[in-house]
Structure 1
């Protein structure tokens, strides 16, 4: 086994460990973005595939998870753009909600998120589900902080009638 083979297997092992550590978190974010179990799997795999191709560079970044989140969001947004394909799913399978504490709330949230524009959905998921700051969300999505605040506020206003989202009390 040469030095190159050893280096490649070490990188593969590091990437595998990274996926194990971050898989659940990215999968949940993808589910909130897509609202569909199959699309979630596809989105998560596509994001990890893109990261794997550049793993040597990504593993040296300050925060590989943040990089991967950005790849996930950009992949989601690029797939949401209109395509000229006539591809239509053969059947729709409801998400497996057997392990959730309240499946009704999950279904309501997923349905409500699907009513938002893709960028608004990405802002809400990134900002509130991933608990990212306005600045981090703006950087990751390539938006200004003012745009993130405006989109988040308007998206929450649209979501409140659809799901039980408590109003924030300001000091």
Structure 2
């Protein structure tokens, strides 16, 4: 068995659920998440890439999932769209996501998930990486290959939209930037 094949086997045994969960949070659909994960695995291992260990393979596949998700939506917007009722119409996700569950907490999670699904792909990827994967802004920028300022803008826009729908969700983060206040005109 080749090195990449054994790495792939170990990755799927140990981390398949986490990778699938990551894809599911981005897509909101189990079948799309499976397809996205499969596409990411093919992208990662198609060239017999030398991956040193499972952690590196996991990072490569997560990056490939993010990239494939954004690429799919970019291609979809360039193609003609079918009218209403389309499987890609996420405006219907909110109505179908809120079930007759008596738990307020579960309903709030479903509302948040439905709201996340309404975000544009890049904003959604930034929110998932920042708040669900708990990456710092610089980590999100590195993961998606974007500038830090761009990620901050996407996060700001996304959080503003999410707060409109889910006002009770706390998006405040402990991350802060130290600022040294100097008096103007010298020391």
Aligned positions of 1:110-129 closer than 5 A: 110-129=113-132
Q: Which residue of 2 aligns with 1:42?
A: 35
Q: Which runs of 4+ in 1 moved over 6 A?
A: 92-95
> Structure 1 42/169 Cα, relative in aligned 2: closer, same or farther at 3 Å?
closer
Q: CA deviation at 1:146?
A: 1.4
If asked which structure has higher relative contact order (CA below 8 Å, sep 6+), I would say 1
Aligned positions of 1:1-171 closer than 5 A: 6=1, 8=2, 10-59=3-52, 63-81=56-74, 82-84=77-79, 89=87, 103-163=106-166, 164-166=168-170, 168=172
Q: CA deviation at 1:129?
A: 0.9
TM-score norm. by structure 1 comes to 0.76
Count of residues paired in the alignment: 158
Q: CA deviation at 1:165?
A: 1.0
> Structure 1 167/29 Cα, relative in aligned 2: closer, same or farther at 3 Å?
closer
Q: Structure 2: how far apart are the matches of 1:84 and 1:153?
A: 28
> Structure 1 11/134 Cα, relative in aligned 2: closer, same or farther at 3 Å?
same
Q: CA deviation at 1:60?
A: 6.3
Determine helix, strand or coil for the equivalent of 2:146: coil
TM-score norm. by structure 2 comes to 0.70
Q: Structure 2: how far apart are the matches of 1:47 and 1:169?
A: 30
> Structure 1 86/26 Cα, relative in aligned 2: closer, same or farther at 3 Å?
same
* 8 Å contact kept, 1:32–1:125: yes
Q: CA deviation at 1:144?
A: 0.9
Unmatched tracts of structure 2, length 5 or more: 177-187
CA RMSD of aligned residues (A): 3.0
Q: Which residue of 1 aligns with 2:184?
A: none
Larger Rg: 2
